Amino acid sequence: MKRTESVLQRSRQCWVCGKRDPLEEHHVFYGTANRMKSERYGMKVYLCPEHHRAQPEGVHGGNRELDLKLKRFAQMRFEQMFGHELFMKVFGRNWLDQEEAWQ
């Protein structure tokens, strides 16, 4: 599959803390189907290993707050470019409308 550029980040650094090396690529909407869609629409950011996988501060390490923050940010950017209707069609879930997201 053709790799796309991130539409969420221009510089190659951790989206959270700004560290530059080492970095891992994170697909904001992950899981089997969503990962491919994230790739297709550039819904990805660079994260340092701590903010990517470490517990509890990593997005895959149980940091739910960071996970939601990234998803809301990505959805907003997507909708600025393509609109809400397409977002719902592609990802099927509205992260901006979740009460838990604002706690």
CA–CA separation, 100 and 81 (whole Å): 25
Q: Which positions ≥6 away from 1 have C-beta within 8 Å?
A: 36, 39, 40
Determine, following the binding rule CB under 5 A, whether residue 17 of this chain makes contact with Zn ion: yes
Element (H, E) at 71: helix 64-82
Binding Zn ion (rule: CB under 5 A), the pick from 23, 43, 48, 70 is 48
Interface region with Zn ion, contact rule CB under 5 A, candidates 5-13, 18-26, 66-74, 78-86? 18-26
Determine, following the binding rule CB under 5 A, whether residue 26 of this chain makes contact with Zn ion: yes
Cβ atoms of 100 and 68 closer than 8 Å: yes
Closest CB to Zn ion among residues 13, 94: 13
Helix 64-82 to helix 84-91 angle (10° resolution) is 130
Binding Zn ion (rule: CB under 5 A), the pick from 8, 14, 45, 70 is 14
Closest CB to Zn ion among residues 19, 69: 19
Closest CB to Zn ion among residues 58, 86: 58
Positions in the binding site for Zn ion (CB under 5 A): 14, 16-17, 19, 26, 48, 51
